[in-house]
């Protein structure tokens, strides 16, 4: 049992989470399975006291810690693989093993994951894995976009005026890009508060979904809270320049959603960051958000002068007026859908 075997321990610089997982695994093997520190040290070139010091140390960045991680991780994997009886593993220990060695290794070690671990991962994890989005990309987008945004788009034309080439009214909505800590998710999530023309102030719709940093854009994918299966998609331009650390103040893009009547609407959007909203929490944040929700809805085009930064007015009008609405289909009784 003293010889190391060739096991799929990831060849990478261990993170703080990796060290923490391995230290807890060594403690688990010792206290729950009776595998002593001396046994863990066998064949690694380290002593029993070195194993004990590693388990109780907090160092994660030193060269020595990385060398001990590599040796002890392989040794623990070998001990688990070579154990005479499969033996039960508690769920939290199984999570440690998956983190350290992966799901496929878990199967080869004859360790069954619990039903909760076999459950389908949440959608944001699936999206992130499918698109190959790294934690660094997610964190960078979060730091630059989280908080409240006033979103402006051309309002859908009413039945009395079907000319979609000229903007007469604009729709103001509120987007809340929430940090990952709110739901402990892989991606940031969002809530989008929207009020169509002709609706009362308390009749606004709320869309929720995930914020997906994807190459040179930010994508918003979600659906209405009332349970409709139809998806809402919005895309903003984004240059992920790591040298720029400040919060984004103005964003431009395209939104695909439904108007009040239920018809598909694709429109250009401009979004303006609500200053300081990324730094507030609790009651202060809720107060600011509620004040902003009270201001959403449809208003004349000239309202932009009072509601967007002065240096952004002309740019916003020009941007929203360039093919403002496409893919708009009106119903026979559609009379006032903004």
* Each residue's pLDDT tens digit, 55-88: 998 888 888 999 999 999 999 999 998 887 656 7
**Backbone φ/ψ region at 323: left (φ over 0), alpha (ψ -120 to 50), beta:** left
Q: What is the mean pLDDT of residues 231-254?
A: 88
Q: Where are the domains of the chain?
A: 16-118, 126-326
Q: Which of 239, 238, 259, 254 is nearest to 319 (CA)?
A: 254
Q: What is the mean pLDDT of residues 280-300?
A: 93
pTM for this entry: 0.62
Q: What is the mean pLDDT of residues 327-332?
A: 49
Question: How many C-alpha atoms does 261 have within 13 Å on its Cβ side?
Answer: 19
Q: For residue 314, what pLDDT is reported?
A: 94
Q: What is the mean pLDDT of residues 147-155?
A: 94
CA distance 179 to 136: 14
Q: For residue 109, what pLDDT is reported?
A: 83
Are the C-beta atoms of residues 190 and 222 closer than 8 Å to each other? yes
Q: Residues 118-147: pLDDT tens digits?
A: 556 788 888 898 889 999 999 999 999 999
């Amino acid at each position: 049992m003293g010889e190391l075997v060739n096991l799929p321990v990831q060849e990478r610089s261990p993170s703080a989470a990796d060290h923490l997982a391995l230290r807890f695994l060594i403690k688990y093997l010792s206290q729950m399975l009776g595998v002593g520190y001396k046994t863990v040290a066998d064949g690694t070139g380290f002593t029993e006291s070195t194993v004990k010091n590693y388990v109780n140390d907090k160092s994660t960045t030193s060269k020595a810690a990385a060398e001990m991680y590599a040796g002890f991780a392989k040794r623990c994997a070998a001990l688990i693989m070579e154990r005479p009886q499969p033996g039960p593993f508690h769920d939290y220990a199984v999570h440690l093993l998956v983190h350290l060695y992966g799901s496929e290794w878990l199967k080869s070690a004859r360790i069954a994951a619990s039903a909760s671990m076999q459950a389908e991962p949440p959608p944001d994890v699936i999206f992130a894995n499918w698109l190959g989005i790294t934690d660094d990309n997610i964190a960078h987008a979060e730091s630059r976009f989280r908080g409240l945004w006033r979103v402006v788009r051309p309002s859908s034309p009413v039945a009395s005026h079907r000319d979609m080439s000229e903007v007469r009214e604009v729709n103001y909505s509120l987007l809340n890009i929430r940090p990952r800590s709110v739901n402990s998710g892989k991606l940031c999530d969002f809530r989008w508060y929207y009020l169509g023309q002709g609706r009362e102030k308390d009749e606004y719709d709320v869309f929720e979904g995930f914020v997906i940093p994807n190459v040179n854009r930010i994508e918003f994918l979600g659906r209405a809270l009332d349970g409709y299966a139809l998806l809402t998609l919005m895309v903003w331009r984004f240059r992920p320049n790591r040298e720029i650390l400040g919060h984004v103040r103005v964003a431009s893009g395209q939104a695909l959603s439904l108007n009040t009547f239920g018809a598909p609407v694709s429109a250009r959007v401009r979004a303006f960051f609500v200053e300081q909203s990324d730094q507030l929490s609790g009651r202060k944040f809720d107060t600011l958000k509620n004040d902003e929700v009270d201001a959403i809805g449809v208003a004349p085009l000239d309202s932009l002068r009072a509601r967007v930064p002065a240096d952004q007015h002309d740019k916003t009008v020009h941007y929203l007026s360039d093919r403002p609405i496409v893919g708009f289909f009106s119903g026979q009784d559609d009379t006032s859908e903004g």
